[in-house]
């Protein structure tokens, strides 16, 4: 006999309201509320991870000009741009729901279920470790999870439609001048249901129903449509104002000068390689990296996976991580070597301002 879980659709809300609901539902789950699947959508919002800094991750001036709300999530991970073109889904469950406490194993199971939901819509989706969902090597959804006491929050997104250029303007990424090439490069990494299904793009309700069926079948449960309980509404009202306030949003903010852009370009035997990266010089960490050029690599997604493996990594671990990445995978590169990529990376570090190079010991 299947177990009954609660299904909630909280509709389109502001960033602060959605963050307040996350906090209220997670606390409620810890207190013994039923396991819950929540669907959510956002008014135009820029969200940073719990440990991130607004000034390091977002173009604050652009967000303010465009009326894009900013909030900090209660979970970790990277900065995101969200709007009504995306569907969010979240599981609030007792941590014993899964037979393991290994978040990667949970990600593989949960993302595998979400993949089946998307496949039922006619999209050949697949799980891409660590926690992305892709179609033909292009990201169509990201996920992440966190334990809090005896509760687990696991959340994800599905891109129905997406404004790539707006995302690039919201996020402080290396492409400071948004060229057509930079936008085209981002489009090669991201896709949407509209791009794949065109005139047959499913409605929000259809996508949510497909995901709910997949989670019901994959987890062996049934769903009963519900709403917030009285205590949850009280928590939500209590946290809503707090999550919109500067004390919450900017709590982990650090000076903008601590983030620097590193760039380099080199002609190798295997072709031209370009590296653009943001470096947190105060913490000596690589925030984000983009590797482009006219080299050959198979599978093509290997570069995207390498970029993901290096994201938010201590600089001292870059070399060993790149070497291990290629050692552990079957990747073809015509005349290009991991050492070539590392050489361009080290050249990029030398492009930092003297103060930044001094901080990281270059």
Q: How far apart are CA 37 and CA 318, in angstroms?
A: 38
Other residues' Cβ atoms within 10 Å of the Cβ of residue 42: 25
Q: How far apart are CA 18 and CA 278, in angstroms?
A: 29
Helix (H, G, I), strand (E, B) or coil at 121: coil
Backbone CA torsion sign across 75, 76, 79, 85: negative
For residue 175, give every residue at least 6 positions away whose Cβ sits within 8 Å of its Cβ, in sequence order, or none: 168, 182, 276, 290
- pTM check: above 0.85: no
Q: Indicate the DSSP class of residue 73.
A: -
Q: Tell me the H-state helices in 84-225.
A: 103-119, 164-170, 180-187, 193-197, 204-219
Q: In sequence order, what DSSP letters do the residues of 77-105 get, joined into one string?
A: S--EEE-TTEEEEEEEEEGGGSS---HHH
Write out the chain's pLDDT in tens, 362 residues. Answer: 358 999 999 999 999 999 999 999 999 999 999 999 999 999 999 999 887 788 878 999 999 999 999 999 998 778 899 999 999 999 999 999 999 988 889 999 999 999 999 999 999 999 998 889 999 999 999 998 888 889 999 999 999 999 988 998 898 765 444 567 777 777 888 999 999 998 899 999 999 999 999 999 999 999 999 999 999 999 999 999 999 999 899 887 754 446 788 999 999 988 889 898 999 888 899 998 989 887 878 887 788 889 999 998 999 999 999 999 999 888 888 889 999 999 999 999 999 888 777 777 77
Q: How many residues in total does the chain contain?
A: 362
Q: How far apart are CA 306 and CA 321, in angstroms?
A: 9
Q: How far apart are CA 342 and CA 255, in angstroms?
A: 29
The phi and psi torsions of 137 (rounded to 5 degrees) equal 80, 0
Q: How far apart are CA 318 and CA 75, in angstroms?
A: 25
Helix (H, G, I), strand (E, B) or coil at 233: helix
Q: Indicate the DSSP class of residue 350.
A: T
Q: How far apart are CA 121 and CA 344, in angstroms?
A: 42
Beta-bridge mates of residue 224: 6
The phi and psi torsions of 244 (rounded to 5 degrees) equal -90, -10
Kindly report, residue by residue over 214-224, the tens digit of the pLDDT: 999 999 999 99
- The half-sphere exposure of 64 on its side-chain side, counting CA atoms within 13 A, is 5
């Amino acid at each position: 006999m299947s177990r009954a879980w609660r299904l909630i659709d909280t509709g389109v809300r502001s960033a602060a309201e959605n963050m307040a609901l996350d906090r209220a539902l997670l606390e409620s789950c810890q207190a013994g509320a039923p396991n819950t699947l929540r669907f959510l959508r956002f008014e135009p919002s820029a969200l940073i991870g719990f440990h991130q800094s607004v000034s390091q991750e977002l173009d604050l001036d652009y967000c303010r000009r465009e009326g894009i709300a900013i909030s900090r999530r209660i979970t970790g991970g990277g900065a995101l741009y969200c709007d009504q073109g995306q569907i969010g889904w979240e599981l609030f469950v007792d941590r014993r729901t899964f037979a393991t406490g290994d978040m990667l194993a949970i990600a593989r199971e949960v993302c595998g279920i979400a993949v089946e939901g998307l496949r039922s819509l006619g999209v050949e989706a697949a799980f891409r470790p660590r926690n992305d969902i892709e179609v033909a090597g292009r990201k169509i959804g990201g996920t992440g999870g966190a334990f809090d006491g005896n509760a687990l929050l696991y959340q994800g997104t599905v891109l129905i439609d997406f404004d790539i250029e707006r995302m690039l303007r919201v996020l402080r990424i290396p492409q400071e001048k948004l060229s057509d090439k930079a936008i085209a490069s981002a489009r090669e990494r991201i896709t949407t249901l509209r791009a794949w299904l065109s005139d047959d793009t499913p409605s929000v309700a259809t996508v949510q129903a497909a995901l709910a069926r997949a989670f019901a079948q994959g987890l062996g449960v049934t769903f009963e449509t519900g709403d917030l309980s009285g205590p949850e509404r009280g928590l939500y009202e209590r946290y809503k104002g707090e999550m919109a306030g500067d004390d919450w949003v900017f709590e982990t903010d650090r000076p903008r000068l601590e983030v620097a852009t590193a760039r380099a370009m080199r002609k190798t035997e295997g072709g031209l390689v370009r590296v653009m990266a943001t470096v947190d010089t105060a913490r000596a960490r690589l925030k984000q990296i983009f590797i482009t050029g006219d080299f050959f690599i198979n599978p093509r997604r290997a570069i995207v996976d390498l970029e993901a493996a290096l994201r938010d990594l201590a600089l001292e671990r870059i070399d060993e991580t790149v070497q291990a990445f290629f050692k552990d995978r079957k990747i073809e590169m015509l005349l290009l070597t991991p050492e070539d990529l590392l050489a361009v990376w080290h050249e990029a570090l030398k492009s930092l301002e003297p103060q930044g190079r001094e901080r990281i010991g270059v």
